[in-house]
Each structure stands twice: as structure tokens, then as C-alpha cells.
């Protein structure tokens, strides 16, 4: 991983108390304010982050697979949904389909996704900082700041210079 990206996520982890306070403040904003702030920050963060130089999300975490995701990916791979589940997935403690292991078995050496067109919805939405309703994913976004350098970029910028909603 790019050294700058590693430093971003490590800094978020080392400033856990401040990050928790930041997200507590964000949780008190109106949903529309959350959406506006995150969506604007999302665009700016990805001007400074190249996912293909990182792919940490694919290397260290895994998505939840809905039944629709299983069917779509199985069709793409030309195997049955049962074969996909037996080969690549397991049921977690919440009864959700998740990858058996990380890194993702569909991640290529160059950090590209071999099943990009059929990737699960959770992968398409990652890191969720442009989610239609940020209030629904604030806890997940806080966790993603420890993994994703784009989310870490947003959080670190807001720790140094909070959006107007926080001032």
C-alpha cells in the first residue's frame, strides 16, 4: 500500500478518541447536513485517493452477499449459486453470506477485480461515504476510516478543519 495511505489510516487509529468525538458530533447533525457534508467530502477525497494503489478493502475485509449478489455472481462465473456458496462463501454469526477468507479470491495481482461487473452491492457502495442516507451508515463509515485511505482523508481533514456544521 502507498505509504501516504498507510499513514492516513494509522493516524485515524491513533486518534481514536478524537474520531469518536467527531462522529458523535456528526450524529447530531440533521440527515441532510450529514449527506451534504459527506458527499462533498467524498468527491474531494477521491481526487486524492487511487483505489488501485491500495485495495485494502479487498485484502482485509469482505462484503456481505445478498441472495441477489449470489445469483448475479454465480451467473457471471457460470456456476450455480450453491457452487458459489460452497466454494467462496460462508454464513457468519448473523446468518449473512460472507467470504470464507481474505483477501478476496476475485482480487487480481494489479488490485483490479476479476468480477467487477458482477461484484456485490456492498463492494459497489464501498466506502459508503456517498450513501444516500449517511445517518444509516455512520458507524460503518467510522470503521472504514481505519481501513480506507479515502475515508481517513475525510476524517483527518474534519479533525483539523471541521465543516461549518461542527464549528
Q: Compute the average pLDDT of residues 134-143.
A: 97
Q: Is 17 among the domain residues?
A: yes
Given a cut of 60, whether residue 167 has pLDDT beyond it is no
Q: Is 167 among the domain residues?
A: no
Number of domains in the chain: 2
Same domain for 46 and 71, yes or no, is no
Q: Look at the alpha carbons of 47, 49, 55, 56 in this order and tell me if their dihedral is positive or negative.
A: negative
Same domain for 120 and 78, yes or no, is yes
Q: Is 33 among the domain residues?
A: yes
Same domain for 102 and 119, yes or no, is yes
Same domain for 147 and 111, yes or no, is no
Burial class (CB in 10 A: 0-12, 13-18, 19+), 155: buried
Question: How far apart are alpha carbons 21 and 58 in whole angstroms?
Answer: 28
Q: What is the dihedral of CA 65, 38, 9, 124, to 10 degrees?
A: 20
Under the banding of pLDDT at 50, 70 and 90, the label for residue 166 is low
Q: Is 166 among the domain residues?
A: no
Same domain for 103 and 115, yes or no, is yes
Question: How far apart are alpha carbons 11 and 1 in whole angstroms?
Answer: 15
- Any idea which residue has 467487477 for its cell? 116
Beta strands in 77-151 (DSSP E): 89-91, 97-99
pLDDT score, position 165:
66
Same domain for 45 and 90, yes or no, is no
pLDDT tens string 22-44? 999 999 999 999 999 999 999 99
Mean pLDDT, all residues of the chain: 96
DSSP bridge pairs for 89? 99
Under the banding of pLDDT at 50, 70 and 90, the label for residue 164 is confident
Question: What domain range includes position 106?
Answer: 64-125
Amino acid at each position: 500500500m502507498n505509504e501516504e495511505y498507510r499513514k492516513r489510516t494509522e493516524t485515524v487509529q491513533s486518534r481514536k478518541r478524537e474520531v469518536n468525538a467527531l462522529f458523535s458530533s456528526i450524529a447530531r447533525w440533521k440527515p441532510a447536513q450529514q449527506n451534504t457534508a459527506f458527499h462533498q467530502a467524498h468527491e474531494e477525497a477521491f481526487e486524492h485517493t487511487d483505489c488501485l494503489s491500495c485495495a485494502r478493502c479487498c485484502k482485509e475485509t469482505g462484503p456481505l452477499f445478498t441472495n441477489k449478489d449470489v445469483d448475479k455472481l454465480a451467473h457471471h462465473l457460470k456456476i450455480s449459486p450453491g457452487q458459489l456458496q460452497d466454494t467462496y462463501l460462508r454464513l457468519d454469526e448473523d446468518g449473512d453470506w460472507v467470504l470464507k477468507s481474505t483477501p478476496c479470491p476475485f482480487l487480481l495481482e494489479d488490485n483490479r477485480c476479476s468480477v467487477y461487473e458482477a461484484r456485490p452491492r456492498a463492494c459497489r457502495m464501498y466506502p459508503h461515504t456517498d450513501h444516500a442516507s449517511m445517518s444509516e451508515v455512520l458507524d460503518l463509515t467510522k470503521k472504514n476510516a481505519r481501513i480506507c485511505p479515502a475515508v481517513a482523508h475525510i476524517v483527518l481533514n474534519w479533525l483539523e478543519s471541521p465543516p461549518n456544521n461542527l464549528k
